[in-house]
Amino acid sequence: MLKNKILLKISGSIATYKVADLISKLMQNNFEVQTVVTDNALQFIGKATLEGLTGKPVYTDSFEEGKMMSHINLMNWADLILLAPATGNTINKMACGIADNLVTSLFLVWDKKKPYLIAPAMNTNMYEHPTTQDSLKKLSSWGVKVLPTGDGWLACGAVGKGKLLEVQEIMNYIKNTLENKSKERLEVIITSGGTIENIDNVRYITNLSTGKTAAAIADYFIEREHKVTFLHSINSALPSGKCKNIQFTSFNDLNSNLSKFLKEKIYDAFIHPAAVSDFSIKSVIINNEEIKTPISKKINSDADEIILKLKKNHKIVDKLKGLSKNKKIKLVAFKLTTLKDEKEKYAEVEKLFSNSKADYIVQNDLSSRKGNVQENYFIYANNNLKIKIKNARELAIALENLLTNQEMNK
């Protein structure tokens, strides 16, 4: 039984030669492929090649006798539409609503319930031209999945962006997109970075968190088409993908934002890597004078000694499930340890489970931090599931599998 029907649209680029390999791999993986090509594409690849590979006639003409409704029928037939290679000319036509051939006409009748992917291929200057970049942004805002380009030697002899992705990478996007189509979409909150507690208007205390793990998780969830709300500190790394970004500063700021969001909207999952201050600054003592915070101006540096009085903050993670409008929300808590003894590490994890009622806990140790990059994570669940993860990308994959109840390798 065939897996899915792929409508492969081809525009005229020197990279068109790669399409033959792509079709071959799709057919080997039991996909059904129908090609639609522009006249310019036929300057680079012949109909005989395409028909021989797909076992189907090649569509080129919007007004061909007996195929006058092909732009409607082909869209109804397809499970996924892919334009590869996508030239600057065709991309810009699509963004302007121009339908002067069958490839562009098919875009105007696109059923948005069906995934539409484009894989750009062109000279670096053409790719980076403001018109092309604006068109790509417009298409993306309409729901088209714009694949990245490769970076390297181009046919024109230049080196840079604009190279058509390798065939296996395009295959991966097709497979992932079709898997996503049948997969549960999640509304997810992800927190990131370290909170900042102001001493005065120029000084503050914070922690080592860079937010890189959270940003990598967010990018993966965005890539997989989950809806992500990303709450981040001022200095946190940000995801490159499109999501709702909310900035916070202090413990109180984060606490207020989370309370607001969780009470107003139903979220399916909460992933909480943010490093939250255990203490906030209550006051500053200078020359035996106690000054309450917040302090609106810079403290004079002439004093020989400044004493900070800290007050303990409650554990935000312990209150998240109680705040949530969705009482079945899945909570992923994070625990950074600085201990050598494995039993002590696990005791910290058990304590967090008990207090937060988290569904999963990601434990990592400061000793695994290489520069500013965290490595080696462990995922725990109440059923004693323990998965060792090497990096943030693999962590994101594992968390998605757990949160959508998919099978995964332990």
**What are the residue numbers of the active site?**
156
Q: Of 190, 258, 191, 274, whose CA–CA distance to 226 is shortest?
A: 190
* Residues 354, 358: Cα–Cα separation, whole Å: 8
Contact 272, 188 (CB under 8 A): no
Q: Do 136 and 162 meet the contact criterion of CB atoms below 8 Å apart?
A: no
User: Which residue has 């099978």 as its token pair?
Assistant: 407
99 and 133 in contact (C-beta within 8 Å)?
no
Query: Cis omega (within 30 of 0) on the bond before 85?
Result: yes
Residues 164-174 as b or e (16 or more Cβ within 10 Å = b): bbebeebbebb
Instruction: Say if residue 120 is preceded by a cis peptide, omega within 30 of 0.
Output: no
> How far apart (Å, rounded) are the C-alpha atoms in residues 138 and 121?
18
Residue closest to 57 by CA, chosen among 34, 40, 73: 34
Output the CA–CA distances (angstroms, integers) from residue 281 to 3, 316, 397, in the order listed: 60, 17, 38
d(CA 352, CA 354): 5
* Cβ(135)–Cβ(95) below 8 Å: yes
Give the whole-angstrom CA distance, residue 204 versus residue 53: 64
State which amino acid sits at residue 34.
Answer: Q
Tracing tokens 């302090």 back to the chain, one arrives at 295
Backbone angles phi, psi at 286, to 5 degrees: -125, 120
Structure tokens at 177: 């997109």
Judged by DSSP in three states, 293 sits in coil
Please say whether the dihedral angle defined by the alpha carbons of residues 104, 108, 111 and 116, taken in this order, is positive or negative.
positive
Instruction: Identify whether the C-beta of residue 217 lies closer than 8 Å to the C-beta of residue 377.
Output: no
